[in-house]
Structure 1
Amino acid sequence: MSDSFFTKSRNALSISIFAFVLVFAASLSLSYVFHEQHTKSERAKSLSLLSTYAYHLEHTLDHSLSSNYTFASLVREFGGFTRWFPAVAASLHDIYPQVNNFALSPDGIVSKVYPLEGNEGVLGFNQLTDAEQGEEAQKALIKKEMLLSGPVELVQGGAGVVARLPIYLIDRWGGKDKFWGFSSTVIKLDTLLNSVNLDDLYQQGLSYQLLRTDTTKPMMISQKGAEVLHDPVTVELDLPSVSWTLQAEPVDGWLPIRYLGAYVLCSLLVAVVVARFVFLAYRMSDQRSQLAYLLSERTQEAHQTAQRLMSTLQAIPDPMIEISEQGLVLDVHVPNDELEVKRCFDIGAPYAKHLSSEASEVFGAALAQARETMSHRGSIFSVLIAQKTYWFEMSVVCNQVEQHQDVSSFVVLLRDITVRQDAEEQLRIAATAFETQDGILISNKDNCIIRVNKAFERISGYAEEEVLGRPPSVLSSGRHTAEFYVEMYERLRKEGSWEGEIWNRRKNGQIYPEWLSISTVRDKDQQVSHYVATFKDISESKASERKIRQLNYYDSLTRLANRSLLIEEMTELLKDNGLAGRQSAVMFIDLDHFKDINDVWGHKVGDHLLQEAASRLNQNTRQQDTVARFGGDEFLILLQDVDVSLNLDRAAYRASHVADRIFKAFEQPFQLEGVDYQVSISIGIAIMDEHVIDPLDIIKQSELAMYEAKAAGRSQLCFFKNSMQERVFERVQLEGDLRHAIDNNELILHVQPQWSVDKKIIGAEALLRWHHPDRGLVSPATFIPIAEETRLILPIGNWVLRMACQWLSDWQSNQAMETFVMSINVSAVQFSQDDFVSQVEQTLKEFDVPPNTLQLELTESMLAHDEGDIVRKMQALKSLGVLISLDDFGTGYSSLSYLHRLPIDQLKIDQSFVMNIERGTKNASLAESIISLGHSLGMEVIAEGVETSEQFDWLKDKGCDLFQGFGLARPMAIGDLLVLCESVNQQI
């Protein structure tokens, strides 16, 4: 016994030592694997974090450097002129705050920089010859693309990166594009790196380096932490023509030494614990084996008996339940595949505990029947188990101790018939679905109809017995070719289905459209057994589709194509080089003075006139041409394939020939409701060829040509020229510059003295001038109409009013000037403001100006507008004490019938009447009449445009009160006026 004991002990110790070594080695291996996984995870996290910073850095650079393309586009757009640069650079600097400065460098030499403050040293810097930056500037010039240089020491100080984009101007004569210079964007490195918070990488435990790697030797851009990175993660940045690399690794490396010691210690502890457990387990196993041998002998017979019973029960495929006479569950046996049933019956509980009331009633009735007849079968009930309904069929047998004695228990077998019930339900659903609103046809593999539904009979008109055994071609309309059906069955064979629109014929012969879907049914051997076709009558939807197309693509009034259809046809014409070798033309037609017809005769007559005009246009164009109503009284005609010779003159000749026919058609008056209406038209034509990209461009060109025809006197034909677009562009540009004229102090006021009969200066007229930074002095005849159209005249007019009042206020301390009258011109747009009078009143109070020293000059043509509003405002101004002068008198449309009711202080004779007045022309009679009329109405009369002493003397003899003109004094600056007044007054 002792030898056996010591032998077993030695065996246990040996096994324990072996287990220790094995577990220790396995733990170290697991620690290594864990370390590798941990390192891999840390590298992935570091790479993700590095990618985020790299993305922000790359996005910041891309976003900031995109400004170069804006400058390059504007340089090319303006043909190399750069006066726009400060305004555009200022707006872009707000968008790209990281940028230190923008610069334009004609021929490589920096000439413009923004902001200038702090960057003055950059001006004159030659990028192509600089020792440090010249090589990369040359490289950008050779590649003809934007190149990011750096890091470099900036001329204005500090380190930074410079992005240069070479700019080439297009030679309009077809020659080689000419190099203009560079557009440059400079970003300081500190600003760039701070904008993406690159130092946060170090705060998060990573040493990093940012390198430029496309050079012979990598250039260090920025670094933090270790001088040398041994095994970093790396991210490449995609930048313009250069490569940057961002790399990083943890400050302490991927495996800190403290982790290594922890791994070894944990492995040692696990190996010791496992070895101890193995030793104890081995000692205990021998004792358990002896005990197990004794127990197995005693339970062998009981086990065999239970095994036989379980085999018998397992042979029963259905759940079996034993229920007592009192309805209590005594035992439950279920097969392995129906364990869910066991949840419904708890041993020792009533059988109805988990059953629904309906199932309990079925269960109780079956037990009662079995009590009477000893057995029962066929009852069906359902049970909800795990959100699913199961159906069971019951078989009940009674157990009695002896015949004719009381029942002791019931044995109930439950057969799962859920699949059968579901199949029956699916059959009912399928039968219902078959009778849907869509027609259904089923044919066999030989394509003979074997069944149809009621909808088929209703749609086709055929009864089921009329089509059984016949092919589906009985419905054929004859509209489709044999190739159509061959392709249909080929797709059925390859793909197993076909769907599309088809035309069929009803039994009564009517042809109708239907949407047909055919599916192939295959048997277990994947052979075709049936075809199932479903279809619906789409006659109504097709009609609706036609109606919608009519609404979407045709004008409801004239029935002509509308704007959408015209643009689609022009797009289709241009598509896939459709105009290669050909030319078309677009005619833009506008009815002259059509608004007058609407205003005078009403919109009903106007609509009728548009319909008749559309009819005449259709009659005088070819069938392949497109006549469209573009909007209002505007029509467009697309003349397709006007010429195939690519000769612009011939294309223009043919288009003008069509225009001549249309002009002749409109020479005949329109007879509407018994009244003749004569309407002329203006036509603009633009030639469209293969070089046109956007249809809207050619439409705009024809519209510009039409406006040119109207400007030429209406009822004219005009072809588009590039100069028209240039004039429009120039006007838009002038309008844009005018919007900033006040803020940029470009507007100035000159004054022209007004003289009394004794040649004393008693007042002056303020004349607005615009000193454009590039154009110089712009004529008021050019910019005043633009200001009135855009309503910029409102802030400009307010500025003139305030300047005049400022001068009058300053002169109140000068005794010689305190009665001096300043006249300012008021636009009709200004005067029409509801608060114009209050504006004047507020300005007078603000500058403390005597109202009788301010005179407002209104044009005579203004009086043709709202008479009541004009009288009311004039009376309000007079109540303030302001003087009112009627300018250009005799050239407008004022009515003498109410002129005497206007509170006017002064009539101003237009200079056109003063010209040649001393020679006794008709102008002399008109001027004399105006002077007499003014005096008879109690008004002062002033003559403008006095050029000679003879004109002055003649007007003086006729009683004119005041004089103004070049013969007396030209417009001058306000300082010169004060000097002139002092000189004249001293002479007098």
Structure 2
Amino acid sequence: MHRIFHKTLARPKHAGVVVFVLVLLLFGFATTQILHQQLQTKKSVALSLAQSHVLLLKTALDKNLSANYALAAVAAREHERTDWFPSFAASLQKDYPDVSSFALSPDGIVRQVFPFEENKSALGFDQLTDLEQGKETLQAKEDGKLTLAGPMNLIQGGEGVIGRLPVYLPQYDDSEPVFWGFTNVVIRLEDLLRYVNFSDLDNGNFNYQLTKLQEERSESAIVIASSKQAVSHDRIAVTIAVPNGRWQLILSPQGYWLSPWVVIGDLLIVLLISLLFGRLVFVALKMREGKVNLEELIGQRTAQLSTSNLRMKAILSALPDSFYEADDDGVVTSYHSPRMDAWYQKTDWPIGKHFSELLGSDSTAVFRKVMERAKKEGCASGYEYYYDFGEHRRWFDMSMTYTADNEGGNGFYILLSREITERKAVESELRIAATAFQTQDGILISDADNKIIRVNSAFEAITGYKESEVIGALPSVISSGRHPKSFYREMFQRIKENGSWEGEVWNRRKNGEIFPEWLSISIVKDDEGVLTHYVATFKDISESKANERRINQLNYYDSLTRLPNRRMLTEEIDYLLTHIDLKCRRSAILFIDLDHFKDVNDLRGHHLGDLLLQQVASRLMDATRSGDSVARFSGDEFVVILEDVDISLNPDRIAYRAKHVANKIMTSLGQPFELNEQPYSMTASIGIAIFGQDAIGSDEIIKQAEMAMYEAKGLGRNHVCFYAPQMHEKILERVTLDSSFRLALQRNEFVLHFQPQWSRERKMIGVEALVRWIHPEKGMIPPGVFIPFAEESKLILPLGRWVMQSAMAQLACWQETTQLRDLVMSINVSVLQFTTVDFVSEVEDALTQTGVNPAQIQLELTESMLVRDQLDIIQKMQALKKLGVLISLDDFGTGYSSLSYLQQLPIDQLKIDQSFTRAIEESDKQASLAASIIGLGHNLGMEVIAEGVETQAQFDWLKNHGCDLYQGFLLGRPQPSNEFVITEDTN
């Protein structure tokens, strides 16, 4: 091989070919690599230049469009006014000089612009229906976000872009916010482009094109700005996100990235080196010249970058935002802030620190979220975080971008941070004010001329007026007319002196209804002490007034009859005694009690009883004069106080008039009443007491009339009696009986006597337990004396429980004896006792405690009990039958029971009342009644027993007519248990 190479060299032509090929391959490869590196360098420079211009453009847009937020905040707060806009827009223009105009478009129609003269042609422009802007405007309304429309031809002339932010008004009844309209910021395109300074791209030998990408069709775009020459296909592009869209900056060289001459020269050099190795010096010089040109070009680009960096720093210094640069891990590598406040530390304080070292946990979480989104989407904005500077918390709004290197590896973050502490405070105050305004109390705000400028929803709910109906009107629009002018003059005088007034006022609703309210009025003054507004808050107190009336009604009037009650009655009598001169005059009180009213409730129900009381009250009012007082004292008791007029010194006059009124009342009440379309007649007992100034008190007067009423009842009812001092003795007896009875229950003064019950063969098969009272001083007190009193005072309940337990206990003792173990014990149950809720439980407890056989217990119920609540009676009887006890119906034939109803009851025995037994010997007609009862009982499958059998003739007659059992003095008297046992043994 070595020999062949030397042979080839020996041949110039061949050697030239070999050298040409070798040099051509070597330098051709080297030249290709150099050209590729130059191309990448130029594109990197162009990309950096494009990114710097895009960042300038993004910064300029964000700064100018942020004016929308301030404009929207004030518009939401002051949407009912229009006079604030010019001055506020003028102040905004100082902070945003690049904005050509500001505009408000309620409901999408431009209503206000600033500056006015240059932009008045835009007034009335409907953004929602316009063919060019309508789609984007509707999209902005639906999304509720800031949008950037354009570029477009402006109504006021020229070309520009429009930042539009929809404004929604919050609602305070949990409904969706209401769309109000848009705020608009107009930026002329030529101002925007001049700010970004695209002209230096022309000077940098670049063609450029700034376009707006269409989201629907990614291949199409709207050209915003471009160089005179079109960009070529060999280009670089940088995309930025703007509100509701993306803009793209495209750069291409003015011609080619690499000069064709350079390429040709390099190729010629390679070719010349290859052909003329002797021209090596020339080629070397040529290469050096190319290197020098390259260094000059790089120097120029470096200078341009330096200039761009200086411009960028100037822009950043002009912005009110802080600038941070962090690496891919979140470590701050660069920091810039224009603020020189004392609470900032030295300018390099965050550099080299991770963001988690600088922030609290909450803000760190926000940063992580923003960095993730920026790394994923390229940018993220609209996030808030806070930093605690000592005891002060400062709030910031940030925007962040992420840029990766060319190989897609580690990149870096750019963060712009703007302080929004004051804005957050204003927003908080606005929310608090709005919440306070929407209280349940009505609020009315008027100006210095007292013309209404604002009301809240509670005002609308209370008065019925909508806000639009009262704006501009005086508060007198809801005046009731009840208060004289002097009332309002005094009110405003108090407001002027004290700065506020509070009190009760009657006003009128929109529907004409007059209502009471508790009103508070305060005045508002400016910094110079000049009155600017009146603030009135009021609360509808109709309900509290109604409650007062209802309480008064409950305190002083009977709810059923609408008559004065006992409380008002006593106060009326006390008033007569203390305020009316009764020295030479007297008055009278009538105490009225309805006879047998309890039967109405028992027989016909409480609802008809209530209806009867209402009719009685009406008749009492008709039977008395207007000056007389009629009151319902309690239950079926009424009281009439006669007025004291035209009463002479003669006391007989008032007695005569009282008797006359009582007779008139008796006559009126004697007329049949109508209850459920059925006539019902009744009577009343009336007691009369006459009193004057010497009376002890209202309670004593009423008590005297009540005692007279009881005396009338004692005479057989349907009578009128005047009070007499001796009536106290009867009342004293009643009180003594009550005390003695209660004491007898405690001392166990009651005993049981047992009366045997016999079969027709004169075999004793049962006994009836009868209660007796052995008084330590008076001896044996007859049942006819204390039983009615016990039932009336409801003391029959504890007595009845004692009788039941004692009778079962005695039966348990007898069951241990051979002779008496099979006896059936009959126990009387009072009506009141049976109607108690826990009666069945009492019977069950007594059976459990004594252990007696339930089949040997027979409960005697009176027939009059059956006229009560039939459903309750049936249920209780069925429950008793489940316990196993027997049920006897006492006094049968004296009540009003229905035979069909009698068939539904689980009754084991019918007891013929002793009145029918005594009548057997008096007449055949009376005897036939007893026979009918016996036949009826047998037909219903019941056992029949007759009580009050006192003669042999009565016994024989009952036996002949099939009576099953007998009880009476003929066969055996009631005896104590010890004597009863002896009698049983002797028989």
Same fold judged by TM-score > 0.5?
no
Q: Which has the larger radius of gyration?
A: 2
TM-score scaled to structure 2, two decimals? 0.42
TM-score scaled to structure 1, two decimals? 0.42
